[in-house]
Chain A
Amino acid sequence: MKEGDRTPLTQDRERDRLSEQQEVSDLLNDRAIFEPPLPKRAKRRRALKIWSPFVVLALALGFLLVRGLGNALVYFRTVDETLSMEATLGTSTFRLEGVVVPQSVTTNNQGGVDFQVSGVDGRRISVIDSANPPQLFQANLPVVLVGYLSHGTFYSNQIMVKHSSSYIAAHPSRVASLGGKKL
């Protein structure tokens, strides 16, 4: 059939068929063309629904970056660093890391413990702690303390135990069997 031979009705049908094809191809691409145009208020509500999770996540990310990485980069000061910076530290709160000196631990009347921590080269700082020490707190283990330094003594209100990444059986020669009986 030539172009000129087409009746208006045939042309209309042809146009409908083409537009139908376009719609289907749009749909296959997941374009939501069947949705009627939304009024402004509904559009705004929909945009809010879509973007609000991103705003919440961006705020969470910002909080983590500011709160977290600000602390994390210099998470603690060692005993040696603390002693060398003693004059400039004042009574600012910071984290101190050191190894609990054996036979230095005594309980105090504040419900905490008094002890000493040592650095790599053996220099020591006395600690007065006012909080309950954690379950793993013991001599020879590294600890991170939160508090401030005053006249050479560290006043701590939190002890965190920094255990190692090695795992060795408590009784390597006695391996427990099923039911708790010793082999």
Chain B
Amino acid sequence: MKLKIAQRYLAASALVAIAATVVLGLFITPPDAVQGNLARLVYVHPAVAWVAYLAYGVTTLASSLYLWRPTRSLRWDRLASSSAEVGVVFTALTLITGSIWGRPAWGVWWTWDARLTTTAILLVLYLGYLALRAVPMPADKRAKRSAIAALFAFIDVPIVHESVVWWRTLHQGATVASLGMNAKIHGIMAWTMLLGFVAFTLAYCALVVFRYRIAQGEDSLRERQISQWQSERLAQSQSDADRVSELLDNANSKSNVKMV
């Protein structure tokens, strides 16, 4: 119930924040000196990429908590998978918005530079994580295996972020999250960008809570099905036993009659 309320508040505030970002980003902020109106994608694309990193960070943290015996609980596994699913959606959105921005700005939809390639690898790694989760196996085994896979997949996240520093790329360097934390964006453009980060983070939280509740519902439905099946089987075995006793009684009475 608490989660349902939290989800409502998060979704509502995410919608308001996204609407405010759209208004500020499209109508209020000035065009960029070099990129003109193309720069308006800066209010969406980096925020979406940040959410993908955040989602995988949460998946890694939840997976670690599952793997650590004192905190082992299927709740962490549920959170890890919910966050990874949302992360995959946001990674795909990162690639799509980047491509939409790249075509007019760079002149190409796609190029094999380190940032783009490692991001595509990130998407494939987490699709692999989700595919692993879809393999039929006991819940505890699935949770353990996917938690280990999540820890391995996360190695790519810092590589993606640092790729523009470590290698020569067509993709520009970080605008905000650089080592010196000196933001290369100013005034209302910077505030709108920040609002975009807040808006998409709220959307992420709402989606994760929503997905977590679905996972919770799926688990409780499975448990209900098992207990229903158990009571059906018990009733069946009871009626079988009654039938056997009845047959034995009949056989006994018949033999008694014969003896008489």
Bound together, the chains give a CA A169 to CA B193 distance in angstroms of 13
Bound together, the chains give a CA A114 to CA B237 distance in angstroms of 88
Main secondary structure of the interface of B (DSSP, over half): helix
The contact of A167 among B39, B112, B163, by CB within 8 Å, is B39
- A54-B34 contact, Cβ under 8 Å, with A24-B230, A75-B168, A163-B105: no
Interface bracket on B: 35 or more
The contact of A133 among B107, B135, B168, B187, by CB within 8 Å, is B107
Which residues from chain A contact B167 at a C-beta distance below 8 Å? 72-73, 75
Bound together, the chains give a CA A28 to CA B230 distance in angstroms of 11
Mark out the residues of chain B between 116 and 156 whose CB falls within 8 Å of any chain A CB in the assembled complex. Answer: 116-118, 120-121, 124-125, 127-128, 131-132, 134-140, 142
Q: B131: shortest Cβ distance to chain A, in Å? A: 4
Bound together, the chains give a CA A79 to CA B107 distance in angstroms of 21
Which residues from chain A contact B185 at a C-beta distance below 8 Å? 166-167
**Is B258 close to A, CB under 8 A?**
no
CB < 8 Å A-B pair total: 179
Q: Which of A37-45, A61-69, A83-91, A120-128 contacts B (4 or more CB under 8 A)?
A: A61-69
Q: B41: shortest Cβ distance to chain A, in Å? A: 11
Q: Please state if B188 and A175 are interface contacts (CB–CB under 8 Å).
A: yes
Interface bracket on A: 35 or more
- Nearest 6 Cβ contacts at the A-B interface: A134-B107, A68-B117, A165-B172, A169-B30, A71-B112, A72-B114
Q: List 15 A-B contacts (CB under 8 A).
A: A31-B138, A50-B136, A65-B121, A67-B112, A68-B112, A68-B116, A71-B113, A72-B113, A136-B104, A160-B106, A161-B106, A162-B106, A172-B187, A175-B188, A176-B30
> 4 other contacts beyond A53-B134, A141-B34, with CB at 8 A cut-off?
A27-B229, A134-B106, A135-B38, A168-B34
Residues of B within 8 A of A (CB): 23, 27-36, 38-39, 42, 104-108, 111-114, 116-118, 120-121, 124-125, 127-128, 131-132, 134-140, 142, 163, 167-170, 172-175, 184-189, 222-223, 226, 229-230, 233-234, 237, 241, 244-245, 248
